[in-house]
Amino acid sequence: MAKDNVNEFRLIGTRPDRPDGLDKVTGRARYGADISAANMLHAAVVRSPHAHARIVKIDATKALALDGVKAVVTRADFPTGLTGEDWNLQENTIAGDVALYDGHAVAAIAATSALLAKDAAKLIDVEYELLPHVTDVDKAMAPDAPIIRQGAADASVPEGLHPNVVKYIEFGHGDVDDGFAKADLVMERHYKTEAAHQGYIEPHACLGQLGEDGKGDMWVCTQGHWYIRRMCAAVLGLEGSQLRVTPSEIGGGFGGKTTIFMEPLALALSRKAGGRPVKLVMSRSEVLRATGPTASASMDVKLGMTKDGMLTAGKANFRMQGGAFPGSPVDFALYCGFASYQIPALFHQGYDVIANRPKCAAYRAPGAPMGAFAVESLLDEMCAELGLDPLDVRLKNASVEGSKSSYGPKFGSIGLVETLEAAKAHPNMLAPLGPNQGRGIATGYWFNHGGDTSVSAALSEDGTLQVSVGTPDIGGSRASIALMAAETMGIPYENVRVNIVETGALGVNEPTHGSRATFASGKATVEAVQGIIKEMCRRVASEWDIDPEAVTWVDGSAQPAGPNAGKFPPMSIAEIAGKMSETGGPIAGHCETVPEGVGASFGTHVVDVEVDPETGYTKILRYVVVQDAGRAIHPAYVEGQYQGGAVQGIGWALNEEYIYDDMGRLQNPIFLDYRVPVASDLPMIDTVIVEVPNPGHPYGVRGVGETGIAPPLPAIANAVAAATGERFYHLPITPVKIVAALNARNDS
């Protein structure tokens, strides 16, 4: 029942206050570290100071001798025999024979206070034998690179490659050589991006309790508590249903809180300490050293273009290291790289490489920003070479509904052309540019994910509605879900309360990831509410003694469907709810699904920068994000996703990077040195919400959360190139690099 082309909704598209707003402006909202329990212990983690080292001995005698120290766990306290990703998760939670990166956990301790736990952790004596290490992706693939782990590669890796290459992917279509032969200009360039951290302001925190009977509870800040349950159960050898996981409010995630890092340690310590609850809160440096940054990338891209701007062929060869385990997003980087364009011939190759760095986690559109940086930078350089307008060239080649995507399937309904047209019409495109100023544009793409989804909705005795969902609210999804529920039910927004409920209360839910909360939980909410409406109509039909089909639901009340149904005054939801006890009992609806009909989202960004030739400082003068939302349920929070994504991309393009010394130790594990954008770095971020409804969602929703981080990397590189005449192929484009490039030009 798609409502395409219906623009007059009662509530969809309005901007009411979010239901959890009051708690979050008063300090009452409870995040991960805000939760405590009676008789609670505090934990601290001992981490490897070495990039790669054999663990010879762990001696906790001195620590355990302290009054108030209740338990120490090492890998010996965890079950053996795990395989595949379960083994990876266990190994990353706590090192086995070898510490694989600076920050890798090797032991954990629980004590009666946080200070005591930290003091005691220092008394745990760990003897290491240093091993050669490698942190750079290209060096990790080189023939003489130290082998991080034999046998980590899967069957996709061709023979002859270094054991650190753990996955290989190739795909494409058309005759690439023929395509390049038809081009007037063929250009190939090498690009690099550095690892960036999601940078959520809330460090990981949890409170775990586990008894000898294998029954446990966990309170944790997470994007997905069923994932926490499944992963903790696997790592600890528990039965999943015996572990109940309750999500706290979450202080940002961006993909980084879709997995476990230290949660099993809290549970293992609790079990060893006689079932006392154990609280474990990471410091910022632990977050940066040991939780998921994204991958670093080394990429070669080749494109062919005719002199009138038609793309004829493309080749991409991407290498990414995602830390000491398989799982870099090299596949998605390749899927997204050329996705904006219809290119007759394409060939993609990707290498997933392990290195002595923390296990990467998802970061907002994983892989897409790197792919976009390489492809959109090259496209821009070629447009400049041929004297073509970069926006017009993108329009000429743009993917449209029905065109074959670069990664295979045909696109359904998409709105790339609409975003390009809207960008072209934006007043920023006409703003005059002065000396040292330049304009950059770029597009970006990300998918939308369905995933396991379970929602229940229940009518209260007063006719209001409670909706229980399993996708934590990170950016206003309670508001969007309440809007869809109220719109469907025909009741005021304020009459809906959306609760994020624990693992015991619903079927399995995937996390708030893949831009799916408003799409998937929203779609399931609409179905659950429709179930309630159907039941209410049935009960009213019974009271009126007519067929259920003869009752229809209009504006929040049951009415006879037509003149033949009989003459009855409308029966309101409050009236129906008030007597539900007598008409058959509680009224509830639910929906368990893997929703289909996902709606992918394209975006186009335009940025103006000014580069100070003396200091190399890049100032963002103007920025506009244009993106297809399908339909914006709560436009303010859609704008928020656009703005937040753009600014994370700006940080990645200009400032943020993981810096390792020659011993493989992270040199910038605090916010002073890992510098995310601050308010004074930025102008207002303008937004244009394009709405090409997704026919797969009852209100036309697409996933909007992730796309916005992809275009800023190339858009800024393109703008800096326009401003300085120098092109930068290696992010971040720091002042140091800019000054060096300008000085080199002046010297020559």
**Do 70 and 111 form a contact (C-beta atoms < 8 A)?**
yes
- Return the C-alpha torsion angle 222, 224, 230, 236, nearest 10: 0
Instruction: Work out whether 21 is an interface residue with other proteins (CB under 8 A).
Output: yes
Amino acid at 555: D
* Binding status of residue 38 toward other proteins by CB under 8 A: no
Kindly indicate which of the ranges 11-19, 158-166, 296-304, 316-324 contains the residues binding other proteins, using the contact rule CB under 8 A: 11-19
CA pseudo-torsion sign 548, 549, 551, 552: positive
Backbone angles phi, psi at 650, to 5 degrees: -60, -45
Tokens of 136: 């750079």
Closest CB to other proteins among 404 and 426?
426
Q: How far apart are CA 472 and CA 409, in angstroms?
A: 31
Measured between alpha carbons, how far is residue 43 from residues 72, 77, 125, 489 in Å? 9, 16, 17, 47
In the DSSP assignment, the letter for residue 519 is I
Cβ nearer to other proteins, comparing 322 with 475: 475
Q: How far is the CB of 362 from other proteins (least distance, A)?
A: 15
Q: By CB under 8 A, is residue 117 in contact with other proteins?
A: no
Give the nearer residue to other proteins in terms of CB position, either 202 or 217: 202
Distance between CA atoms of 461 and 90, rounded to whole angstroms?
A: 47
Give the x/- contact pattern for other proteins in 639-668, rule: CB under 8 A. Answer: xx--xx-xxx--------------------
Q: Least distance to other proteins from the beta carbon of 516, Å? A: 16
Q: Is residue 27 involved in binding other proteins (CB under 8 A)?
A: yes
Q: Whole-angstrom Cα distance, residue 413 to residue 701?
A: 12
208 touches other proteins (CB under 8 A) = no
Query: Measuring CA to CA, how many Å separate 89 from each of 33, 95, 232, 639, 730?
Result: 23, 10, 9, 35, 31
- Yes or no: say if 374 and 118 are a contact pair by the CB < 8 Å rule: no
* Residue 574, C-beta contacts closer than 8 angstroms, at least 6 positions apart: 462, 463
Nearer to other proteins, 252 or 507 (CB): 252
How many residues touch other proteins (CB under 8 A)? 59
Smallest distance from the beta carbon of 671 to other proteins, in angstroms? 4
Tell me the per-residue interface mask from 263 to 282 with other proteins, x by CB under 8 A, - otherwise: ------------------x-
Identified binder of other proteins from the candidate list 31, 544, 617, 729, rule CB under 8 A:
31
The least distance separating other proteins from the CB of residue 153, rounded to whole angstroms, comes to: 35
Distance, in Å, from the CA atom of 180 to the CA atom of 306, rounded to the nearest integer, reads 10
The alpha carbons of the chain give a radius of gyration, in whole angstroms, of 27
Under rule CB under 8 A, residue 670 binds other proteins: yes
Member of 2, 9, 29, 349 binding other proteins (CB under 8 A): 29
* Residue selected from 211, 237, 252, 275 as contacting other proteins according to rule CB under 8 A: 252
For position 293 contacting other proteins by CB under 8 A, the verdict is: no
Which amino acid, 71? A
Of 2, 187, 588, 682, the residue at the interface with other proteins (CB under 8 A) is: 682
By CB under 8 A, name the one of 531, 671, 729, 742 that touches other proteins: 671
198 binds other proteins (CB under 8 A): yes
Site for other proteins contains 250 (CB under 8 A): yes
Residue 220 interacts with other proteins (CB under 8 A): yes or no: no
Q: How many CB atoms lie within 10 A of CB 74?
A: 20
Q: Round to whole Å and give the CA distance between 32 and 374.
A: 38
Q: Which is nearer to other proteins, 116 or 457 (CB)?
A: 116
Structure-token match 């939302």, residue found: 629
CA dihedral 610, 616, 617, 618 (to 10 degrees): 40
Query: Which residues within the stretch 418-477 sit at the binding site for other proteins (CB under 8 A)?
Result: 474-476
- Token output for 609: 């920068």
Q: Which residues pair with 304 in a beta bridge?
A: 186, 313
CB of 428 to other proteins, least distance (A): 15
Contact between 679 and other proteins (CB under 8 A)? yes
Residue 678 within binding range of other proteins, rule CB under 8 A: yes
Q: How many CB atoms lie within 10 A of CB 156?
A: 13
List binders of other proteins among 599-638 (CB under 8 A): 634, 636-637
Q: Which of 708, 577, 557, 724 is nearest to 646 (CA)?
A: 708
Whole-angstrom distance, CA of residue 662 vs CA of residue 147: 17
Of 172, 179, 224, 251, the one binding other proteins by CB under 8 A: 251
Find the binder of other proteins among 254, 519, 652, 658 (CB under 8 A). 254
> Residue 704 Cβ, how far from other proteins at the closest point, in Å?
13
What's the closest the beta carbon of residue 113 comes to other proteins, in angstroms?
Answer: 8
- Binding residues vs other proteins (CB under 8 A): 15, 17-18, 20-22, 24-31, 33-34, 113-115, 198-203, 249-254, 281, 283-284, 474-476, 634, 636-637, 639-640, 643-644, 646-648, 670-672, 676-682, 684-685
